[in-house]
């Protein structure tokens, strides 16, 4: 019987894994430069955490969360996102105690959502994210957007990506807005999809970004939150926008942008990639402020803020736009030997070469020169060297540069070989 990997998952290996690691390294380096510290929470948490944070009526919790009951009968969940866990850890470990300044974390995590597998939707995927906790100034919101934009620039995606922003106000303003939306959408009840009809009383915001209903005129013309915002909110939003404009970041205000998770208040944003082949939009970065989450999770009344980027989606965009990855699984040198004995004599040499930084691969299963040469070609190595009994006696061997087929005779010495290969 042949086993298959679960739908919506990826076996990471080869070039795809090299790309994943390169992207992870670049993002981690950037986060460290912004003064963030890494955090790695557990892969599973109690299901209640996500009910409370992400929200019971969201698709992520209602339809997509992977749950299981542990041996003691506790309801657990594989994490569908990182923010809830970071906030839980911040509160549980009392990291807030005696801190006048913001605590800043970044993470690179695998996450799980039972989504219908289709382009850009995986059941296990990765996110790089950042969270500011104990935010006291909207200068943090500006820096958060600058950093997200820096990521877009770093991967040369600027011309394909639009930044959409919106301002969601506080819990009470949203409640008032939701009440008005319920009344408004009730008049259009029969025109809503069954999904939206179900959401109407629990969370009418979901109707605004619903894939089917979201494009209908009556949904586009639904009451806006703006009228519930105070002048202070409007001023803060304006100052954030002025702040990002002053560093040349373009944006689009999208008042239907509500995000799929319940904890957002204040600024919300998404960086959306327009696929040039299909003309479809893919959100690669999503984030915003959450003013109540720390308190709801049992901590003090502190404000949080952050964003996350979907790594699989980023890699798709990078491959679509022919981004030049700098690292590769390139093998510098394939060594071949004429016998078991010759090979065994050369183990010291092989170790020295690797210690000098060369990537060396050997097919230990064969002692024929042409088969070893084929192996070097298959591995797309830069150089091939075949060592036989005679090479050991003369202390020299031929090294072949595989792109030019140029042969050079050199001394069997690690430093000489390394310098030939350019290391």
Binding site for ligand HAM (CB under 6 A): 81-83, 113, 115, 120-122, 125, 127, 129, 131, 260-261, 283-288, 306-308, 310, 312-313
- Copy the structure tokens of residue 382: 């830069």
Rounded to 5 degrees, what are φ and ψ at 339? -160, 170
- Listing DSSP states for 178-216 in one string gives HHHHHHHHHTTGGGS-HHHHHHHHH-THHHHT-TTGGGS
Name the residue nearer to ligand HAM (CB basis): 261 or 414: 261
Name the residue nearer to ligand HAM (CB basis): 257 or 387: 257
CB of 414 to ligand HAM, least distance (A): 45
CB of 275 to ligand HAM, least distance (A): 13
CB of 324 to ligand HAM, least distance (A): 22
CB of 261 to ligand HAM, least distance (A): 6
Cα 391–chain centre separation? 50
CB of 331 to ligand HAM, least distance (A): 31
Distance CA 8, CA 66 (A): 13
Name the residue nearer to ligand HAM (CB basis): 284 or 346: 284
- Return the residue matching tokens 């380096």: 29
Name the residue nearer to ligand HAM (CB basis): 151 or 334: 151
Q: Which of 377, 343, 362, 356 is nearest to 420 (CA)?
A: 356
CA torsion 355-361-316-30 (nearest 10°) is 0
Name the residue nearer to ligand HAM (CB basis): 169 or 286: 286
Distance CA 335, CA 331 (A): 11
CB of 340 to ligand HAM, least distance (A): 49
CB of 124 to ligand HAM, least distance (A): 8
- Listing DSSP states for 329-368 in one string gives ----EEEEESSHHHHHHTHHHHHHHHHTT--EEE-TT---
**Which residue has the closest beta carbon to ligand HAM?**
310
Name the residue nearer to ligand HAM (CB basis): 283 or 372: 283
Name the residue nearer to ligand HAM (CB basis): 81 or 400: 81
Q: Which of 255, 323, 263 is nearest to 19 (CA)?
A: 323
3-state secondary structure of 251: coil
């Amino acid at each position: 019987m042949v086993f298959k990997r679960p739908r919506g998952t990826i076996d990471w290996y080869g070039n795809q894994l090299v790309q994943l690691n390169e992207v992870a390294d670049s993002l981690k380096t950037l986060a460290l430069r912004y003064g963030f510290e890494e955090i790695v929470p557990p892969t599973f948490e109690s299901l209640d955490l996500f009910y409370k944070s992400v929200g019971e009526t969201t698709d992520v919790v209602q339809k997509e969360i992977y749950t299981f009951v542990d041996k003691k009968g506790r309801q657990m969940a594989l994490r569908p996102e990182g923010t809830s866990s970071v906030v839980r850890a911040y509160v549980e470990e009392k990291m807030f105690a005696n801190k006048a300044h913001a605590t800043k974390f970044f993470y690179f995590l695998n996450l799980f959502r039972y989504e219908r597998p289709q382009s850009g939707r995986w059941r296990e995927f990765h996110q790089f994210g950042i969270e500011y906790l104990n935010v006291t100034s909207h200068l943090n919101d500006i820096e958060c957007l600058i950093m997200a934009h820096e990521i877009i620039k770093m991967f040369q995606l600027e011309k394909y990506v639009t930044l959409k922003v919106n301002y969601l106000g506080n819990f009470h303003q949203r409640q008032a807005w939701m009440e008005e939306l319920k009344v408004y959408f009730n008049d259009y009840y029969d025109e809503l999809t069954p999904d939206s009809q179900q959401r109407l009383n629990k969370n009418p915001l979901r109707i605004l970004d619903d894939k089917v209903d979201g494009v209908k005129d009556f949904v586009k013309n639904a009451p806006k939150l703006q009228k519930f915002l105070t002048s202070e909110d409007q001023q803060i939003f304006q100052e954030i926008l002025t702040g990002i404009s002053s560093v040349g970041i373009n944006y689009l205000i999208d008042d239907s942008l509500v995000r799929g998770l319940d904890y957002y208040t204040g600024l919300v944003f998404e960086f959306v990639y327009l696929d040039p082949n299909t003309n479809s939009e893919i959100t690669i970065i999503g984030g915003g402020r959450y003013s109540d989450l720390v308190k709801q999770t049992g901590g003090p009344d502190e404000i949080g803020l952050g964003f996350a980027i979907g790594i699989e989606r980023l890699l798709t965009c990078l491959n679509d736009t022919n981004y030049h990855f700098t690292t590769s699984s390139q093998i510098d040198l394939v060594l071949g030997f004429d016998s078991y004995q010759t090979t065994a004599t050369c183990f010291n040499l092989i170790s020295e070469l690797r210690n000098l930084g060369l990537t060396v691969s050997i097919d230990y299963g064969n002692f024929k020169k042409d088969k070893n040469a084929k192996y070097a070609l298959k591995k797309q190595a830069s150089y091939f060297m075949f060592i036989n009994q005679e090479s050991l006696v003369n202390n020299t061997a031929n090294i072949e540069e595989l792109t030019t087929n140029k042969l050079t005779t050199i001394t069997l010495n690690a430093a000489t070989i390394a310098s030939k290969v350019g290391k």
